[in-house]
Amino acid sequence: MELQTITYIVVGFTFAIYIGIAIWARAGSTKEFYVAGGGIHPVANGMATAADWMSAASFIGMAGLIAFMGYGGSVFLMGWTGGYVILAMLLAPYLRKYGKFTVPEFIGDRFYSDTARTVAVICLIICSVTYVIGQMKGIGVAFSRFLETDYETGLYTGMVIVFFYAVLGGMKGITYTQIAQYCVLILAYTIPAIFISLQLTGNPFPQLGLGSTLVGTDTYLLDKLDMMVMDLGFSEYTTTGRLSTLNMFAYTASLMIGTAGLPHVIIRFFTVPKVKDARSSAGWALIFIAILYTTAPAVAGMARLNIMQTIEPSPGEYLKIDERPDWFKNWETTGLLEIEDKNGDGRIQYSADESVNELVKLDRDILVLANPEIANLPNWVIALVAAGGLAAALSTAAGLLLAISSAISHDLLKGMLLPNISEKQELRASRVAMALAIVGAGYLGLHPPGFAAGTVALAFGLAASSIFPVLMMGIFSRKITREGAIAGMVAGIGVTLFYVFQHKGIMFIPEWRYLEGLGSNWFMGIEPNAFGCIGAVINFTVAIVVSKVTAAPPERIQALVEDIRVPVGASIAQTH
């Protein structure tokens, strides 16, 4: 059966499941729409959280980044997984005990200020919109290749699917849909990795295959990869490359605290019955995430080796342009892989020397999707990868859109502008806000702003500099005032946005092409995508200083802060 036919069947079947779940799990109340009724089992919530978290950036982009950054790409593995430890230990149980629906609602109550709540809503929307651009674009890219449609048609199709299960079901529908999407994406990621690991090393476990010898030789896979990239003039694959120690630390820290501050992830811990379930959910999410994240380095290394061996089958002998394989031609039609025969020899040359590099464009995001084709795996595996990439993008997009619509309907409309509306009216407003958010996200996916290439890491930096500090201070300090919290959020996200836009021209040079001294005008050598941790320090500092010169919070607020951290009664559901 042809690849396109199989892909239509596999992707269509998974979409039918998502829509069916949405109809079955239709939300009938605001509590079901915002927090799935608060009755999700921690294991199920951990699986849904993993799907919510593992976006197109994790499924498609991360292995591509590691493939071209080498060891330096470990910042994403350490940052994104390490953030969950912070979230499980320092945020999730306390926010669940407080019992509110949204992050801005907690901030508004804790800092006794509608202004603080409004600023939190603005920060949430900025972070979430920045993140969702990449998800909508990932949907369009995946469809454009595997379903052989144009980018716009693929994106519109994805918008319709998200509309059905997000608008109808709210958090309830999204939760059960994300459980199904996790199963699809994890199978789609690990099955090709197992096949390719067996091909190259004979080891069925990709995590072990990465450190094994190649089939029929005594050469280790990573040694072979190091030799090949160095012969072409690139930095050794197993070294940190361009990332300085300080920059690597800042990048990891920014991703870690950004993870703990992402609103669409935090809101998942409001859906479990008990406080202890929130911590348990984070633990299960780490287990489910680890399956993909421990596989990613192997996928990256093997994909880089496969594509280089395709271009240069033997030392000094490059692939003839007229003899390039079908997968090469297929990806050329997407515009994500381009060739220019600079010296007219009719061959493809790929090296660090731009003057002879005839592989004009090799978008790192294609590696995971193209890897099964490069390895000549069966068509059903290739189709499964297409479904997995779409599941990853759709699951995170739905969570982000729910966070945006909840902030608008629950925090702005119900919380401040029209507090007397009925639950039915609020639910209707939530669905309208969700629909508008989907339209807006689709527009940004069709017309991404100039900074779209760095959206994912930038979203984490923005969350790290704005939301994470105010949550930490709100839970663990009785003395932070509303003025301090507002000033800290504005200062943190403001400085981070300024730094990013100040250096936005530098952000988009692919990581494997950074020139020496390119970041000489960066603050302490810290690149824009890693600046979120500096913004967080500024947020903390400004909030503490302002709080010292303003009136202390009321006694009831200080008592509330103390009560949040008291573990007594943590085994029963609590609300305020």
User: Considering only CA atoms, which of 548, 533, 570, 566 is closest in space to residue 248?
Assistant: 533
* pLDDT value at residue 171: 77
Tell me how crowded residue 194 is: count the other CB atoms within 10 A of its CB: 17
Ordered structural domains, the chain, with CATH: 3-564 (1.20.1730.10)
* pLDDT value at residue 505: 45
Q: Are 152 and 446 in contact (CB under 8 A)?
A: yes
Q: What is the dihedral of CA 545, 550, 551, 557, to 10 degrees?
A: -50
* pLDDT value at residue 529: 81
Question: Using CA atoms, how far apart are residues 527 and 308, in angstroms rounded to an integer?
Answer: 29
User: How confident is the model over 342-392, as pLDDT tens digits?
Assistant: 777 778 877 666 666 666 677 777 788 888 888 888 889 988 988 888 888
Q: What is the pLDDT along the chain (576 residues), one digit of tens a residue?
A: 777 788 888 888 888 888 788 788 777 777 777 777 778 899 999 998 888 878 777 787 788 878 877 877 778 888 888 888 888 888 888 888 887 778 888 999 999 999 999 999 999 988 888 888 777 777 777 777 666 777 778 778 778 877 776 776 677 778 888 898 899 999 999 999 999 999 999 999 999 999 999 998 999 999 998 888 888 777 788 876 556 788 888 888 998 999 888 888 888 888 888 888 888 888 898 899 989 999 999 999 998 888 888 887 777 777 788 888 888 887 877 777 778 777 777 788 776 666 666 666 777 777 888 888 888 888 899 889 888 888 887 777 777 888 888 888 888 888 778 888 887 888 888 888 888 888 887 887 777 654 444 566 778 889 999 999 999 999 999 999 999 999 999 999 999 988 887 765 444 333 333 333 445 567 777 888 888 999 999 999 999 999 999 999 999 999 988 888 876 454 444 444
Concatenate the DSSP letters of all residues of 472-493 into one string: HHHHH-S---HHHHHHHHHHHH
Q: Which residues pair with 213 in a beta bridge?
A: 220
Axis crossing angle, helix 42-53 with helix 170-201, rounded to the nearest 10: 70
* Structural tokens at position 432: 């309208």
Rg (the chain; Cα; Å) = 24
Q: Are 339 and 360 in contact (CB under 8 A)?
A: yes
* pLDDT value at residue 448: 61
* pLDDT value at residue 246: 86
Length of the chain: 576
- Distances from the Cα of 575 to the Cα of 95, 273, 472, 563, angstroms: 11, 11, 20, 12
Q: Are 394 and 188 in contact (CB under 8 A)?
A: no
Question: Using CA atoms, how far apart are residues 363 and 336, in angstroms rounded to an integer?
Answer: 5
